[in-house]
Amino acid sequence: MTTLTIELLLSRRTAVLKMGIAALLSSGLVFAQTPTNDYPNHPIKVIVPQAAGGGTDLIGRRIAQKLSEQFKIGTVVENKSGAGSLIGTEFVANAPADGYTLMIGGLANMVMNKALIKNLSYDPDRDFVPLGYISGYSFVFLTRPEMPVNSLAEFVKFAKQQNKPILFGSAGIGTLQHVWGEILLNALGIESIHVPFKGAAMGYQEMMGDRVDVMFDNMSASKQYILNGKLKGLALSAQERSPVLPLVPTINETGMTKFTGESWFGIFAPSKTPVAAVSKLRQAMVVINKEPEFIAQVEKDGGRIINVPVNEQQQFLKDEIVKWVGLVQKNNIKVE
């Protein structure tokens, strides 16, 4: 075999090899696209499915900062709000499952949307994997300042003596204030009319003006009004009392009905994200949830750290979906 023949054979083999590599590149099957032991090796994006400046956004930015500190790599927050968190949640559900697009999810978009929206474009349990739960916030049952009651029992007695329905406000149709308000008032046997506002702030103003009777809202937003005496806090939705409002009993403590719930937040990735990336992110969240500074920030806002073991995180989400879907159906709550 001549030198020229050998060179031609080698040239042809090189060409075939190059063509094979090109085919792999075009098909998306290159192994370099799958996170390896060096994950993460470029910036991570955290999607917040709410507008900038709100509570979900604040949590997202805190988590992004902590991930940046741990991984020594940039972590950026991108707000994709709209359609009651649907736009941002759909975006992450359809994002590449490579560990570089994550989402701050909560009870609203990961559970209540499933309970309230027919033909939801994503399935929270099927399309997402939890990386860690962050914090939970009790709701407070609030009354207007001039209502002559100082306990949940007194409120029930007062409401049932009226010749008209109680007016309860919320931040809008389909919000947790609306859905949980209906569930609680129904459980207490109180006739009511829902008054939706464009945001909770207007509802608070109407309550302080004695034009709306009650609201059931997140402690992080309502505690300031209770502490300065502008509204009355009668009971909490959580299992235990809060150190922020130590004199306010839980609903279950009052004996008037049974109601337990928290507005919680967690961080999620698309369900097919590689195990190696999921493992590293879960380890990072365990560390974050133990940081004294982070714990203090959450508690200052009226919340508590939620520590769900890794092997129970998916089941936690399943259980929440079953619970609230069942209660929404039982109470025949509609938003469409």
pLDDT (tens digit per residue) in 119-139: 999 999 999 999 999 999 999
**Is the pLDDT higher at 291 or at 34?**
291
**Mean pLDDT of the residues in the chain:** 88
Single-letter amino acid code for the residue at 99: G
- Of 211, 131, 222, residue with least CA distance to 176: 222
Q: What pLDDT, on the 0 to 100 scale, is given for residue 52?
A: 86
Q: Which pTM value belongs to this model? A: 0.84
Amino acid at 210: D
Given a cut of 70, is residue 32 above it in pLDDT? no
Sign of the Cα pseudo-torsion (26, 28, 34, 39, in order): positive
CA angle, corner 156, sides to 150 and 162, nearest 5? 105
CA dihedral 82, 277, 43, 51 (to 10 degrees): 20
Residues ≥6 apart with Cβ < 8 Å to 212: 144, 167, 168, 169, 195, 203, 206
Residues of the chain with pLDDT > 90: what percent? Answer: 77
Return the closest-CA partner of residue 267 out of 117, 71, 104. Answer: 104
Output the pLDDT for position 3: 44
Q: What are phi and psi of 199, to 5 degrees?
A: 110, 155
Q: In this predicted structure, what is the pLDDT of residue 55?
A: 83
Q: Is the per-residue pLDDT at 310 higher than 50? A: yes
Per-residue pLDDT tens over the stretch 175-218: 999 999 999 999 999 999 999 998 888 999 999 999 999 999 99
Average pLDDT (312-328) is 96
- Is residue 336 very low, low, confident or very high in pLDDT (cuts 50, 70, 90)? low
Q: Residue with structure tokens 């359809």?
A: 94
Q: Are 79 and 52 in contact (CB under 8 A)?
A: yes
Average pLDDT over every residue of 143-152: 95
Residue 298's nearest CA partner among 76, 136, 110, 56 is: 136
Average pLDDT (297-326) is 95
Predicted confidence (pLDDT) at residue 285 exceeds the cutoff of 70: yes
State the average pLDDT over residues 61-78. Answer: 94
Distance (Å, rounded) from C-alpha 261 to C-alpha 320?
A: 9
Please determine, for residue 319, whether its predicted confidence score (pLDDT) is greater than 90: yes
Domain at 138-254, CATH homologous superfamily: Periplasmic binding protein-like II (3.40.190.10)
Who wins on pLDDT, 142 or 54? Answer: 142
Token pair listed for 322: 């079953």
Q: In the chain, which residues fall in CATH 3.40.190.10?
A: 138-254
E-strand ranges in the chain read 44-48, 75-79, 101-106, 128-143, 166-170, 192-196, 214-218, 232-236, 262-270, 303-305
CA-nearest of 219, 223, 165, 222 to 195 is: 165
Given a cut of 80, whether residue 308 has pLDDT beyond it is: yes
Residue 18 has pLDDT above 70, yes or no: no
Residue 31: the pLDDT is 37
Q: Residue 272 — φ and ψ, nearest 5°? A: -95, 15
- Start and end residues for every CATH 3.40.190.150 domain found in the chain: 44-136+263-330
In this prediction, what percent of the chain has a pLDDT beyond 70? 89
Q: Write down the pLDDT at residue 26.
A: 40
Whether CATH 3.40.190.150 fits 44-136+263-330: yes
194 in Cβ contact with 211 (< 8 Å):
no
Q: Where are the beta strands (DSSP E) in 108-165?
A: 128-143
Q: DSSP secondary-structure letter at 198?
A: S
Any idea of the CA torsion for 326, 242, 103, 284, to the nearest 10 degrees?
-120
Residue type, 60: G
234 pLDDT above the threshold of 80: yes
94 pLDDT above the threshold of 70: yes
